[in-house]
A = this chain, B = another copy of it.
C-alpha cells in the first residue's frame, strides 16, 4: 500500500506515527556515505531546536556496532539509502524495528529491501543538479521539523516548508549566474591531486559529502572535509599557496567560524574557491531557517561544479574502479 501515497502523504504519515508515540527521547539518523552526510544537518536541527529529543547521526555499521542502549520504543530511527539496497542500512532498519523503535526510511526505489524492512517509507525524487521539496535532504528536513512540530509545537516547521518551496528558483538562477566561475574552476583545478573542502554548521555535511563522494570516489582526487572551527587547531598548517580549498560560507549561526577561516585561507593559499550563501541569493530565505536549508543549495550548485570538473579532467563521474565492479 505504501507506494500508492503521494510524497506529501508519505511524509505526513510518518510524522503522524511519531506524534502517536507516547514518548520520543531520541532520533537516530542512520545511513552510509553520501546518505549519511545528509543526516548530519538533522542532528544539527535537533541540537538547535529540540527540547525533548536528542539527535544522533551514525554510519549504519557503526549504529549496529554501537547498539545504542537507549534504542527502543522511545526512539525514532530515520534511515536513507538511494538504492534501498545498502546492506548495513537495511540491517540497521531491522535492528531498530526489532527494538521497538519507529522506523522511517527514505529511498529512491520502492519495493527495495530498505522499503521492506522499514515501517514507514518516503520515496524521494532525485535529480542531482536540482533541488525540490521532494528531494532527499529536503524530505529529511521536513521529517525533522515535522516531528519537532508534532511533539513540541516547533513554530519553524512551517517556515522550513516555505523555504524549501522558495529554494528551487533561487538555485536555478544561482547555477545560471555561476556559469563563468564554474568553467574557471574546472579549468584551473583539472590537474590538482588534492582539494580540501571546508565548512561548519549544516554545511559541514555538504563539505564531507563532496570530499568523499565527489573528490575521492568519483574523481580519485585526495580530499578531506575540514570543519571551519577545527581548521585553526591543526589542519591550517597544511595550507600553502598551491593547496586548493573550497570554502562554503553559511548564513547561519556558524558564519563567524567560516569568516575567520576565509580570512586566513585566502591569505596563505592562492587557490581558494568561495561559495557564499549571500551571493547565491539565499538572503531571500527567512533568516530564522536559512541555516537549515543552505547545505542543500551548496550541494546543488557543487554538483554542477563537479560535472564541469569531470569533463575538464576527462574523468566521467560515473567511472569506478571498485564500486559495482566486484564484491567487497
Q: Which residues of A contact B (CB under 8 A)?
A: 26, 32-34, 36, 44, 47-51, 54, 56, 58-62, 65-70, 86, 88, 194, 200-201, 211-213, 216-218, 220-225, 227-230, 232-240, 252-254, 256-257, 260, 264, 268, 320-323, 328
Contact = CB atoms under 8 A, between A and B. Distances in A.
A224 B212 CA distance: 10
A33 B230 contact: yes
A135 B194 CA distance: 35
Contacts of A217: 234-238
Contacts of A320: 237
Contacts of A60: 229
A194 to B, nearest CB: 5
Contact of A253 (B67, B257, B260): B67
Contacts of A216: 234-235, 237-238
A50 B70 contact: yes
A54 B32 contact: no
A65 B229 CA distance: 10
Contact of A194 (B48, B65, B222, B254): B222
B238 A220 contact: yes
Given A47-B70, A65-B252, 12 more contacts: A36-B233, A59-B227, A59-B230, A60-B229, A61-B200, A61-B257, A62-B229, A211-B224, A216-B238, A220-B237, A232-B328, A237-B323
A88 B257 CA distance: 10
Contact of A321 (B220, B223, B237): B237
B65 A51 contact: no
A67 B65 CA distance: 30
Contacts of A225: 224
A179 to B, nearest CB: 28
A34 B254 contact: no
B239 A213 contact: no
A268 B325 CA distance: 14
Given A234-B33, A235-B217, A69 B54 contact: no
A195 to B, nearest CB: 10
Contacts of A58: 47
A67 B48 contact: yes
A257 B65 CA distance: 9
B62 A236 contact: no
A61 B229 contact: yes
A225 B226 CA distance: 10
Contacts of A211: 224
A99 to B, nearest CB: 14
